[in-house]
């Protein structure tokens, strides 16, 4: 029994650590209804191309909330660089839609998408 514990405790600890470190790739995926970041980016790009600015504003809010949720659960396994870059891209995206600037808005969304892809990779 004692011998088992001597092996089991470190083994379980290491497995737990691996789970924490590698969980990011799973946790960044949409787990609920309102945290689908790639989905929201896709619909946003479509709405911007159609110049549906009311819809865009609403979706941008949703995207922000979704990112807030995702960031909360991936922060222990993700790199701070990608998190910050994605947050900055979203901030700039907000500036672009404030001025109804199609090109910039799509550029920032594409960048945000790329950061999301690189996150935890």
Partner 1 sequence: MDNNTDINYYREVKQVLNEGLVVFVRSIIAFFSLLIFTRIIGKEQISQLTFFDYVLGITIGSIAASLTTDLSSRAWPHWVGLITWAVLGYLMEIVTLKWRYASKVLEGEPVIVIMNGKIMEKALKKAKYRISDILELMRNQGVFDPNEVDFAIIESNGQLSILKKAEHLPVTRKDMNIPVQNPGISTELVYDGMLIEENLRQLNKDKAWLMNELKAHGINDISEVFLVTLNPEGSIYIDKYDDHITKITDIGDYKGPF
Rounded to an integer, what distance in angstroms lies between the CA atom of residue 37 and that of residue 74? 13
Rounded to an integer, what distance in angstroms lies between the CA atom of residue 74 and that of residue 71? 5
* Interaction of residue 31 with partner 1, rule CB under 8 A: no
Cβ distance to partner 1 smaller for residue 49 or 65: 65
Cβ distance to partner 1 smaller for residue 67 or 113: 67
Site pattern 5..24 for partner 1 (x: CB under 8 A):
-----x--xx--x--xxx-x
Rounded to an integer, what distance in angstroms lies between the CA atom of residue 60 and that of residue 43? 10
* Angle in degrees, CA 66, 70, 76, rounded to 5: 160
* Interaction of residue 87 with partner 1, rule CB under 8 A: yes
From the list 28-36, 37-45, 70-78, 100-108, the region that binds partner 1 by CB under 8 A is 70-78
């Amino acid at each position: 029994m004692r011998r088992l514990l001597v092996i089991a405790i470190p083994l379980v600890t290491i497995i737990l650590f691996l789970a924490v470190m590698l969980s990011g790739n799973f946790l960044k995926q949409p787990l609920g209804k309102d945290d689908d970041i790639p989905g929201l980016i896709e619909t946003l790009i479509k709405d911007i191309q159609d110049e549906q600015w009311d819809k865009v504003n609403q979706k941008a809010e949703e995207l922000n909330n979704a990112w807030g949720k995702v960031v909360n659960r991936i922060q222990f396994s993700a790199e701070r660089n990608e998190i910050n870059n994605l947050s900055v891209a979203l901030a700039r995206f907000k500036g672009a839609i404030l001025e109804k600037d199609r090109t910039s808005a799509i550029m920032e969304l594409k960048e945000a998408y790329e950061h999301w892809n690189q996150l935890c990779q």
